[in-house]
Amino acid sequence: MDKNELSASADVDAEEPHMAEHRTSEAAKRPTKEEAKAAVRTLIAFIGEDPDREGLIDTPKRVVGAWQDFFAGYNDDPADILGRTFEEVDGYDEIVIVRDIRVESHCEHHIVPIIGKAHVAYLPDRRVVGISKLARVVDAFAKRMQVQETLTAQIADTINNVLQPKGVAVLIEAAHMCMTTRGVHKPGADTLTTCTRGVFKTDPMMRREFLDLVVKR
């Protein structure tokens, strides 16, 4: 998702006619729940199982429901989550950090879990946002098919674009099931990604302070 998409209005009526038609067309192409359940039945049969077996009869329904939860982030606008800010902070001008935000995502290459945690920091410029909103932004992007590098940058860019702070820093450490349960089978391997904006990118001391506060203690 690029910067224009992040700041775009959700009001289709305000868009140009051809854009509204495109969105309507895309919505019309979205499969129904029944079609989704049929697809799951096909996959069950593909691996050699019987989708009509007693233990599997309701599995397609359960899988579709689970997917709606796993990928609920497509229904959220991360920019809207950060829409309400506060300026009455008594001159607070130090780093705000939320550590150890649980990350539950899925690799877009194999659709298997990515499990880990995110550390999110920003240096306010006159206004702050409720700290729970930072965790919600993480969830809004994590609950999509993802690549960890993209996820890290999306979180940082959204906070930077909406709050316009002096700087933003995001670090994600996560285990990828596509690497630990298949392929090279390397359990215990974590992937770390960082994304910095503003003073966290230009000032080495600020970057070091962030890392000192969030790296495993």
pLDDT band at 173 (very low <50, low <70, confident <90, very high): very high
pTM for the full predicted model:
0.83
3-72 has CATH 1.10.286.10 classification: yes
Q: Supply the mean pLDDT for the chain.
A: 87
Of 8-17, 128-137, 141-150, least confident by mean pLDDT is: 8-17
For residue 127, the model assigns a pLDDT of: 86
Backbone angles phi, psi at 84, to 5 degrees: -100, 120
DSSP the chain: --HHHHH--S-GGGS-HHHHHHHHHHHHHSPPHHHHHHHHHHHHHHTT--TTSGGGTTHHHHHHHHHHHHTGGGG--HHHHT--EE--STT--S-EEEEEEEEEEEETTT--EEEEEEEEEEE-SS-EE-HHHHHHHHHHHHSSEE-HHHHHHHHHHHHHHHH--SEEEEEEEEEEHHHHSSTT--TT--EEEEEEEEHHHH-HHHHHHHHHHHS--
Contacts of 137 (CB under 8 A, 6+ apart): 78, 81, 82, 120, 155, 158, 159
Which CATH fold topology does 79-214 show?
GTP Cyclohydrolase I, domain 2 (3.30.1130)
For residue 27, the model assigns a pLDDT of: 57
For residue 186, the model assigns a pLDDT of: 74
pLDDT digits (tens, 9 = 90+) for 12-64: 344 445 545 555 555 568 899 999 999 999 999 999 999 999 999 999 999 99
Name the segment(s) of the chain with CATH classification 1.10.286.10: 3-72
Q: Which residues are catalytic?
A: 107-110, 148, 176, 178
Q: How far is CA 177 from CA 64, 66, 109, 212, in A?
A: 20, 17, 11, 28
pLDDT digits (tens, 9 = 90+) for 108-123: 999 999 999 999 999 9
Name the segment(s) of the chain with CATH classification 3.30.1130.10: 79-214
